[in-house]
Chains A and B, each alone.
Chain A
Amino acid sequence: MSERSLLDIARDAVEKAVSTSGVTMAEAYVKKGRDIEIDVRDGTIETIKSADEHGIGLRVFCGNQMGFAYTTEFSTEGVSDTVRRAVANARQTEPDEYLRLPDVPGSYPDVDTLDPDLLGRSVEEKIDLARRMEQAARAFDPCIEVIESSTYQDGVVEVAIANSKGLAFGYHGGACGVYTALTAGSDGESQTGFALDFRLKFAELDPEEVGRQAAYRAVRMLGARQHGSQETSLILEPYVVVSLLGVLAPALTGEAVQKGRSLFAGRVGDTVASDLVTIVDDGTLPGGINSGPCDGEGVPTSRTVLIENGVLNGFLHNTYTAAKDGTVSTGNGVRGSFKGAPEVGTTNLFLAPGQAEPEHLLDELDFGLLVTEVMGMHTANPISGDFSVGASGLWIEKGRISYPVRGMAIAGNITDLLKKIDAVGRDLQFFGGKGAPTVRVRQMMVSGS
C-alpha cells in the first residue's frame, strides 16, 4: 500500500468523483485502524486477535440524488470502481432537495481522543491486565466456577474526511477496555455475571474492580427463585437503564422524527418524563470513548441536552436532517464504519446523575424488585415505546434485599416508565458510549409464575 496520507487519499477520491460527468458534489471518509483483543483463560492466552483495517466510503451527489459505495481497495482502480458504483447508485435514488454537504466549519472543539500512553503499552502488559481481572474474579468467592471470558481490547484509528466544498480534516483516536463474563455455581445451579469498563486512558483501567464486580453480580443471584405476578416499584441498575437508553436513542434523532418513527415527534416543549430526568448527548465529553472533534461528516461535535428536567428540548441532527428542519447539525452525523453513509446517531449519551444515594433507594419500599438484568430489550418497539422483557434481580422486602428472583417479565411503555421515575441516583456509570445512574420507577407490571 502506498504511503500517502489518509487526507490525500480522501482529497484524491473527491477529486476523482467530481470530475465524473453529472456529479455535483462528493465526500470521502477514509479510516484506518489497528485493534488488538486478548482473551485469557486460566491464566493463559486463549485467543489473541489483531486487526489491521482500512477502507473508504464515498458519497456522490448528482444534483439532488445521492449514492454511496465503499471499498477496502485504496488503489486507483479500486477508487475509480467505487466512484462508478456510487454514481450508478445515485441515479436510482429519489431526488431530495435537502441533501447537502457541510461547509468548512469555523473551528473544532479541543477534545482528547488519544492517550499517547496507550500506544506505548506492550502486549505483555495487556495480557497481564486480563490475567489480573480473571484472578480477582476467582478470588472474590469460591462459588466462581467458570470464567467464560476475561478480555482486554484496544483500538487506535486514524480518520480523514474531505468534501468538494473544501472541508478537509483528520484526527487520531483510541480507546481501551476490559470485559469479563463468568458463572457462579452452587448445588447444581449456575448464575451468570459480567462487567466491563472502556476508557480513553489505559492507566484508568481497574481490572481487579471489574473482575470483582462480575463475580458479585453472579454470586448474588445464586438461589434465585420465581416470584408471582404483581404491580410493584422497580429499582433499575445503571446497566439496565443503559439498555433502556439504547431503545430511546433512535427516538431522539431528527431522522426518526422526520420519518414518523419517533415516539417524541411533535412533542418539543412537552413534559415527556419525570422532572428528575435529564438526558444529554455530548460528543465533547472529557474521557468519553465516543468523544471526538467532529462527526462522520466533518461537522464539529457538541453537547446537546435532549431532555431537561423532564421537558423535551430537541433532537439530534446531521447535516441532512438539520437542513430539512431548518436548523443546524448538532454534530451527530455518526458512521458505524466506512461501510455506511452518515446517519443520525448518539455520541456519549447519558442520563444525568441525580441526588439520591443509590443504596438508599430501597429504604422506603415495603416490597419491590431491584432489576439487575433484562433480556430481550433489543426487541422493544422503538416507535411505540412498548417493551416486554425477561428480567431477573433481587426481591426487596421492607427496605432490604430479601432473595434473588429469575424468570420474571416486565412489560410496559418507555414513555410511561420515564414519567414514573421517582428517584435518580448519583452513581452515573458508563458502559461504552452510554451511561446512567441507578433509578427507581413506581408501579410497573411484573409477571412471574
Chain B
Amino acid sequence: MISKDLMEEILSAALSRGGDFADVFIENKRVTGIGLEDGKIERMQSGSDIGAGIRVISGESTAYAHTNDLSREGLLRSAEVVARALGNGSQERTFDLRTLRPTVEFPVSEPPDAVTAEHKVDMLQQADRAARAVDRDTIKQVMVGYGDVVQEVTIGNSEGVYVEDRRVRTRFLVNAVAAKGDVIQTGYEAAGTVTGFELFKVYDPTQMAANAAQRAKSLLDAEPAPSGKMPVVLAGEAGGTMVHEACGHGLEADLVQKGLSVYSGKPGEPVADASVTVIDDSTLPDRYGSYAFDDEGVPSRPVTLIKDGVLTEFLYDRLTARKEERDSNGHGRRESYQHKPVPRMANTYIAPGKANPEEMIRDVREGVLVRKMGGGQVNTTTGDFVFEVAEGYLIQDGDVGPMIRGATLTGNGPEVLRRVSGVGSDLGFTIGTCGKEGQGVPVSDAQPTLLFAGDKEEDLPISVGGTRMRGKTNAEVTKSPRIRRV
C-alpha cells in the first residue's frame, strides 16, 4: 500500500521530536455483510475502509493518531501530530526496514470475494428453509447472517520491522426464535475461520440452522433452571467461554502490570489444579482467532500460560513486553487502524486430559450438564465471572436428565481453576468477538469436558443462577431466562 521509503520517512517524522519507539499500521479492509430475516434478504452491504494509525512510545507514554488520508502529506501530518503530542526535543533517526517472512500461513482456497453474491444469498436462503423445516408451528423467526472480511495490512516500526499481511475471515451465524404460548426461546449457532468459503465444507449451513432451530424448540419445554451451588459438568462441545472469562483476560499483561489481575505477581506459582494446562495458540489452522503476524508485526506463536497448574507466562504486546524488558509473544492486537494495539487472546484453550467424558457425567449424583455455553463477562480484578448456559441439562444419578433453561453460571476464576476435579480427553471450540477497551477482535476458545464436583457445598466452585430454588418448586415462576450469545 505504501513503499518502504515512505514508511521510513513517516517513522523518522514520528520520532523527530523524541521518543523511543514508533510504528505505523496501514490497513485496507473490504467487508461484505448479508442479513436474512423473515425469509427475506434484508440487508446486503459492502464497505471499503482505508486508513493508517501512527504511534510513538516515549518512556511510559504513548501517542497515537489515525487518519483516512493515506497521501504522503496526510501521513506526515499525522506523524507530526504524534511527534508533537509527547516530544519537545529533536532527534534524527533513519531506518533500514527489512521484510519479515511469516512462520505460519493460512492459505485460502476459496476467496470469499471470488464467490458470487447469488451463491452467498442462496446459501442463506437454504439455511432459513432448513431452520423453518424443523417445526413450522413453533419456529417463528429465523435470522441468518454472513460476513467476510479481506484485510490487507502493512506494518513498519523503528526497530526495522516491515510486514505485509493479508487476512481473510469468513463467518456465518444463525439465530432461530421458537414460541409457544407465552414462552419464547432462541437457539444460536455460529462458525468462523481465517479462511474463505471452504469454511462451509466443514460447517454445513443448513445443519447449523437446523441445530439452532432444534435447540430453540427444545427449550420451549425445558424446565426452569435450579439455583444454588451444585456439581457442574461443562461438556467439551460447550466451548471455551469459561476459560476465556475465568482466566484468559486475567493473563493479559496490561491488566497484570496495572495490578488489575488476580494473577499479578504469580508467575511460577500454582494457580490451578495440576490437571490444568492453558495454552493460547494463534497459529492453529482454520481457527477464527488465528493470524500469521499480530497487529504489531510480531510473528505468531503458541504460548503456554499455565502448565500443569503452574502459571508460566502472560500474553504480551510490545508495550507491556518493553516494561518487563522482554520480547512480545505475539499478542498485540487491534480492531483496526483506529485503535492502538493491546494484549489480547487469540485461540485460548485448556489442554485435553485423560478422563472419559461420559464417565465424568456418570460420577455425578445431582448436578447440571452444560452442552453449549453462551456469552460471558468477567471482572478481572476480583476474578468473578458470569456466563450463560445456552443448552443445559439436569444430571440425575449419573444420567442426563431433563433440559433446563434460564441458567447462568457464576464463579470466581482462580477458585474454579483450583477446583477442577476432572479433565476429559475431548476438545471443542467456539468462536466469538471479544471486546476490550471498546475494541472487538475475533477469537476462539475451547476446553475439554470439565467436572466440578465435591462432597461438601464449600468444595463446589460454581453457582447456578436460575429462577427455581433448589429442592423447592416455585409455582410463581412461569418464565425463566434464556440468553443469546452476543
- Is A139 in contact with chain B by the CB < 8 A criterion? no
Select from chain A the residue with minimum beta-carbon distance to B261: A190
Contact indicator A411/B338 (Cβ below 8 Å): no
Contact indicator A48/B408 (Cβ below 8 Å): no
- Which among A12-20, A102-110, A295-303, A378-386 touches the partner chain? A378-386
B470 CB to closest chain A CB (Å) equals 8
Contact indicator B45/A89 (Cβ below 8 Å): yes
Of the candidates B46, B140, B177, B376, the one having the most CB atoms from chain A within 10 angstroms of its own CB is B46
Q: Which residues of A contact B407 (CB under 8 A)?
A: 388
Which of B48, B121, B410 is close to A71, meaning CB atoms less than 8 Å apart? B48
Produce 1/0 per residue, A382-419, CB < 8 A to B.
01111111101000000000000011111111001000
- Is B266 in contact with chain A by the CB < 8 A criterion? no
B405 CB to closest chain A CB (Å) equals 8
Q: Which residues of A contact B410 (CB under 8 A)?
A: 390, 407-409
B385 CB to closest chain A CB (Å) equals 8
Produce 1/0 per residue, A50-69, CB < 8 A to B.
11111100000000000111
Contact indicator A406/B384 (Cβ below 8 Å): yes
- Which among A21-29, A39-47, A112-120, A157-165 touches the partner chain? A39-47
Q: Which residues of A contact B229 (CB under 8 A)?
A: 449
Q: Given A50-B85, A381-B481, A384-B184, do A190 and B68 touch, yes or no (CB 8 Å)?
A: no
Q: Considering the complex, which residues of chain B in the window 462-484 have a beta carbon less than 8 Å from any beta carbon of chain A?
A: 463-467, 469-470, 474, 477, 479-484
- Which among A80-88, A170-178, A353-361 touches the partner chain? A80-88
- With the chains together, A81 CA to B388 CA distance in Å? 43
Which of A41, A52, A341, A376 is close to B68, meaning CB atoms less than 8 Å apart? A52
Contact indicator A376/B66 (Cβ below 8 Å): no
Contact indicator B408/A445 (Cβ below 8 Å): no
Q: Which residues of A contact B384 (CB under 8 A)?
A: 375, 390, 392, 406-407
Contact indicator B48/A81 (Cβ below 8 Å): yes
Q: Given A1-B69, A386-B482, do A376 and B382 touch, yes or no (CB 8 Å)?
A: no
- With the chains together, A75 CA to B73 CA distance in Å? 16
- Which among B57-65, B91-99, B356-364 touches the partner chain? B57-65
Which of A1, A92, A339, A445 is close to B227, meaning CB atoms less than 8 Å apart? A445
- With the chains together, A10 CA to B37 CA distance in Å? 30
Produce 1/0 per residue, A336-350, CB < 8 A to B.
000111000000000
Contact indicator A447/B228 (Cβ below 8 Å): yes
Produce 1/0 per residue, B87-112, CB < 8 A to A.
00000000000000000000000000
- Is B274 in contact with chain A by the CB < 8 A criterion? no
Q: Considering the complex, which residues of chain B in the window 276-304 have a beta carbon less than 8 Å from any beta carbon of chain A?
A: none
Contact indicator A46/B61 (Cβ below 8 Å): yes
Contact indicator A92/B388 (Cβ below 8 Å): no
- Is A448 in contact with chain B by the CB < 8 A criterion? yes
Q: Considering the complex, which residues of chain B in the window 406-429 have a beta carbon less than 8 Å from any beta carbon of chain A?
A: 406-408, 410-412
Contact indicator B381/A192 (Cβ below 8 Å): yes
Of the candidates A73, A190, A388, A448, the one having the most CB atoms from chain B within 10 angstroms of its own CB is A388
- Is B318 in contact with chain A by the CB < 8 A criterion? no
- With the chains together, A373 CA to B78 CA distance in Å? 40
Contact indicator B481/A387 (Cβ below 8 Å): yes
Q: Considering the complex, which residues of chain B in the window 333-367 have a beta carbon less than 8 Å from any beta carbon of chain A?
A: 338, 340
- Is B6 in contact with chain A by the CB < 8 A criterion? no
Select from chain A the residue with minimum beta-carbon distance to B34: A92
- Is B258 in contact with chain A by the CB < 8 A criterion? yes
A256 CB to closest chain B CB (Å) equals 11
Q: Which residues of B contact A445 (CB under 8 A)?
A: 227, 467, 469, 474, 477
Contact indicator B469/A387 (Cβ below 8 Å): no
Which of B60, B81, B262, B463 is close to A41, meaning CB atoms less than 8 Å apart? B60
Interface of B is mostly: strand
B457 CB to closest chain A CB (Å) equals 7
Q: Which residues of B contact A78 (CB under 8 A)?
A: 48
- With the chains together, A392 CA to B376 CA distance in Å? 16
Contact indicator B408/A146 (Cβ below 8 Å): no
- With the chains together, A144 CA to B30 CA distance in Å? 45
- Is B312 in contact with chain A by the CB < 8 A criterion? no
- With the chains together, A154 CA to B372 CA distance in Å? 41
Which of A68, A388, A406 is close to B43, meaning CB atoms less than 8 Å apart? A68
Contact indicator A94/B386 (Cβ below 8 Å): no
Contact indicator A47/B43 (Cβ below 8 Å): no
Contact indicator A375/B377 (Cβ below 8 Å): yes
- With the chains together, A68 CA to B183 CA distance in Å? 36
Q: Considering the complex, which residues of chain B in the window 67-87 have a beta carbon less than 8 Å from any beta carbon of chain A?
A: 67-69, 71, 74, 78, 81-82, 85-86
Q: Which residues of A contact B474 (CB under 8 A)?
A: 445
Contact indicator A72/B184 (Cβ below 8 Å): no
Contact indicator A383/B481 (Cβ below 8 Å): no
Contact indicator B64/A376 (Cβ below 8 Å): no
- Is B5 in contact with chain A by the CB < 8 A criterion? no
- Is B325 in contact with chain A by the CB < 8 A criterion? no
A368 CB to closest chain B CB (Å) equals 18
- With the chains together, A390 CA to B462 CA distance in Å? 12
Contact indicator A389/B386 (Cβ below 8 Å): yes
Contact indicator A386/B406 (Cβ below 8 Å): yes
- Is A4 in contact with chain B by the CB < 8 A criterion? no
Q: Which residues of B contact A390 (CB under 8 A)?
A: 377, 384-386, 408, 410, 465
- Is B455 in contact with chain A by the CB < 8 A criterion? no
- Is B41 in contact with chain A by the CB < 8 A criterion? yes
Q: Which residues of A contact B118 (CB under 8 A)?
A: 92
Q: Which residues of A contact B412 (CB under 8 A)?
A: 407
Q: Which residues of A contact B406 (CB under 8 A)?
A: 386, 388, 411
Q: Given A92-B121, A146-B258, A259-B38, do A375 and B379 touch, yes or no (CB 8 Å)?
A: yes
Select from chain B the residue with minimum beta-carbon distance to A183: B381
Q: Which residues of B contact A386 (CB under 8 A)?
A: 406, 479-483
A371 CB to closest chain B CB (Å) equals 14
Q: Given A145-B259, A445-B467, do A379 and B484 touch, yes or no (CB 8 Å)?
A: yes
Contact indicator A378/B486 (Cβ below 8 Å): yes
- With the chains together, A406 CA to B415 CA distance in Å? 15
Contact indicator A53/B68 (Cβ below 8 Å): yes
Q: Given A70-B47, A411-B480, do A388 and B177 touch, yes or no (CB 8 Å)?
A: no
- Is B49 in contact with chain A by the CB < 8 A criterion? yes
A392 CB to closest chain B CB (Å) equals 8
Q: Which residues of A contact B262 (CB under 8 A)?
A: 190
- With the chains together, A96 CA to B41 CA distance in Å? 10
- Is B50 in contact with chain A by the CB < 8 A criterion? yes
Select from chain B the residue with minimum beta-carbon distance to A221: B382
- With the chains together, A155 CA to B164 CA distance in Å? 32
Q: Which residues of B contact A412 (CB under 8 A)?
A: 467, 481
- Is B263 in contact with chain A by the CB < 8 A criterion? no
Contact indicator A389/B81 (Cβ below 8 Å): no
- Is A229 in contact with chain B by the CB < 8 A criterion? yes
By a beta-carbon cutoff of 8 Å, the part of chain A in contact with chain B is 1, 41, 44-55, 67-73, 78, 81-82, 85-86, 88-94, 96, 123, 145-146, 148, 183, 190-192, 229, 259-261, 263, 339-341, 375-376, 378-381, 383-390, 392, 406-413, 416, 445, 447-449
Please name 15 pairs of A and B residues whose Cβ atoms are closer than 8 Å in the assembled complex, sorted by A: A78-B48, A88-B117, A146-B259, A183-B259, A192-B382, A259-B38, A375-B377, A378-B377, A379-B408, A381-B484, A383-B184, A387-B481, A390-B408, A407-B412, A413-B481
- A sample of 13 more A-B contacts (CB under 8 A), given A70-B45, A390-B408, is A47-B340, A51-B338, A55-B68, A69-B47, A85-B46, A146-B260, A378-B486, A379-B376, A380-B483, A390-B377, A407-B384, A408-B410, A413-B480
